[in-house]
Amino acid sequence: MRNKTPKSHYSYEIQEIPELLEKYLRTTEFDTIADINSSHGSVLNQLKDKGYLDNKDIYLLDTNSEKVSIDTLLKSSNLLVDDYCNINYVQTKSIDIVICNQVIEHLDYDKELIKQIYDILSPNGILYLSTIYRTSNFFSSPQNISENKFHPEHKHEYRQEEELLKPIKDQGFQILENRKIPFHVFPINNLLSKIAGQNSKVTKFFNNFSKVIKVNSMDLSNWEIVGRKLE
């Protein structure tokens, strides 16, 4: 089954290059790199600033090329934009590294995305994938509390490793690394959003406050997986 383009898929912004991703950027020889759900380019711009994209072919895989607004420095690079739900322009076996940050949980058919990534990766190509991992239902969105979803747009929220590792391995990847890092949260935020609503002044105040006072979540982790295409 082919995934439909999400209607309102937000872009996951990062403040710094994930340590695990940077490890493989340093140790992998590559000429081509693709970022899935690129949009504002928070990942690619940081890679550009650190010199990882010098003389590389860069592919932006997003649902709509009009959403992509990379800064002028990155626009000067060799770019090709394609839709990750319906890849038309990227040739098979042509990408050495694929970055997929917090995307797969938004799609109906996670195995289809894994297959498309496998198809465009070159032999021995590297996949860096991150998604949400949950161990309880405490942090659930008020809009989706009956389904115990952290975010109302999530189609998948993985609670057992084999839910995702098995289809990745079945597709033909070797799992190189697999680790989980707790998200930073402020414990009262979730309770307030359920009682007062996400848009209340009190909830917004504590949301801003939590950006300063960070507490590791006992429920939510950023799950990072690195795989190598076997062929």
Buried b (16+ CB within 10 A) or exposed e, 143-179: eeeeeebbbeebebbbeeeeebbebbeebebeeeebe
Q: Residue 193 falls within a domain, yes or no? A: no
Distance CA 44, CA 36 (A): 10
Q: Residue 200 falls within a domain, yes or no? A: no
| pLDDT tens digits, one per residue of 104-157 | 888 888 999 999 999 999 999 999 999 988 876 554 444 444 455 556 677 888
CATH number of the domain where residue 107 is located: 3.40.50.150
Distance CA 116, CA 119 (A): 5
Look up residue 212 and give its DSSP letter: T
Q: Residue 42 falls within a domain, yes or no? A: yes
How many other CB atoms are there within 10 angstroms of residue 9's CB atom? 19
| pLDDT tens digits, one per residue of 56-78 | 988 888 765 555 555 544 554 55
pLDDT greater than 90 at residue 209: no
- Structural domain including 126 reads 19-137+149-184+219-229
pLDDT greater than 50 at residue 187: no
Token pair in block for residue 19: 């340590």
- Flag the least confident range among 37-41, 75-79, 202-206: 75-79
Q: Residue 66 falls within a domain, yes or no? A: yes
pLDDT greater than 70 at residue 192: no
Instruction: Return the closest-CA partner of residue 31 out of 104, 106, 124, 96.
Output: 96
Buried b (16+ CB within 10 A) or exposed e, 90-116: beeebbbbbbbbbbbbbbebbbbbbeb
Q: Residue 12 falls within a domain, yes or no? A: no
Q: Residue 194 falls within a domain, yes or no? A: no
Q: Residue 40 falls within a domain, yes or no? A: yes
| pLDDT tens digits, one per residue of 11-28 | 556 668 899 999 999 999
Q: Residue 91 falls within a domain, yes or no? A: yes
Structural domains counted in the chain: 1
What is the mean predicted confidence (pLDDT) over 48-60? 89
pLDDT at 216: 47
